[in-house]
Amino acid sequence: MIRPGPGHDLLLTNPQSADQSLDSFAMNQDDLWVFGYGSLMWRPGFEFSDRQIALLRGAHRSLCVYSYHHRGTAEKPGLVLGLDHGGSCRGMAYRVPDEKRDETMAYLTEREQQNYVYRESLRPVDLIDGRRVKALVYLMDPRHSQYAHGLTPEQQLAFVKQGEGVSGRCSDYVRNTLEHLHQLGIKDPALNWIAARLD
């Protein structure tokens, strides 16, 4: 059984971690764009008027969130994806119709912010058609107790192998994520490395 290292527990941090820039969102941008890097890429769950492959700089897709419920337990945590600091991430950007803005924001808050693991932020993303837009992104909160910081690939692999929760095995989560990324033509060497060693 692999457990989180010192400094990690099950307590939740203060949920007031959203970037202040969201407060003035309506004044600074006409369209709501949402950036997805994991399941939002193939299962957004909201209406959109446009979607494009997009590049986010300054954060990368990583198995950096301890899962104590969906893909693990408190005794045997698994790992799920977050956007961790540094690098870049290729994902999917969705433009939301103006009349669906409030409904979409409410849906995303319920879906992504159950434990306040992520910080809502507006970040520039480069669309595949050459435009740059500000998109709503969900970044890993480094102050959160579920932040799995600084794990080696071997340590990540151990958590993925042991994790199983109410939504199934963590290993299946990684394989499914990688399959969908491949379908979209997006490469993720770190996930490839782990998936290749699960069997």
Task: Give the other-Cβ count within 10 Å of 94's Cβ.
Answer: 23
Tell me which residue of 76, 73, 79, 43 sits closest to 166, measured CA to CA: 73
Please tell me the distance from the alpha carbon of residue 17 to that of residue 9, in angstroms, as a whole number.
19
Q: Is 47 a catalytic residue?
A: no
Q: Which residues contact 123 (CB under 8 A, 6 or more apart)?
A: 35, 56, 58, 59, 134, 135, 137, 139
Quote the Cα angle for 176-54-96, to 5°.
90
Q: Which of 112, 154, 164, 179 is catalytic?
A: 112
In the block, tokens 């003035």 appear at: 24
Q: State whether the Cα torsion 11-14-19-23 is positive or negative.
A: positive
Which residues are catalytically annotated? 112
